[in-house]
Amino acid sequence: MQDKWTKLAFEVDSIIVRAVEENSLNPQDIEKAVKTNLLPLLFTACREIGAGMNQVNRIVETIIQILRVGLMKS
């Protein structure tokens, strides 16, 4: 089970890196790309453990907040 979550974390990271590379001039487009790609991925993974859309939305919003801080520092 832990390997699955580790793999998912690396997938999330690669989605974020790709979104930043493709949309580096517009932070709103970065956030949109991240949300668009993460929501279905995380919903599928989290549904298996009983989490619903509310929990997945909170996870994605937390990731977006961390992303914003990282973008402000760079």
Helices (DSSP H) in the chain: which residue ranges? 2-22, 27-47, 53-73
Provide CB contacts within 8 A for 39, sequence distance 6+. 56, 57, 60
The predicted model gives 50-71 an average pLDDT of 94
The tally of domains found in the chain comes to 1
The predicted model gives 13-19 an average pLDDT of 96
Check: CB of residue 23 under 8 Å from CB of residue 35: no
Residues spanned by the domain of 38? 2-73
Confidence band, pLDDT 50/70/90 cuts, at residue 73 = confident
Model-level pTM?
Answer: 0.86
CB atoms within 10 A of CB 1: 7
The predicted model gives 43-66 an average pLDDT of 93
Report pLDDT for 42. Answer: 95
Higher-confidence residue of 71 and 57: namely 57
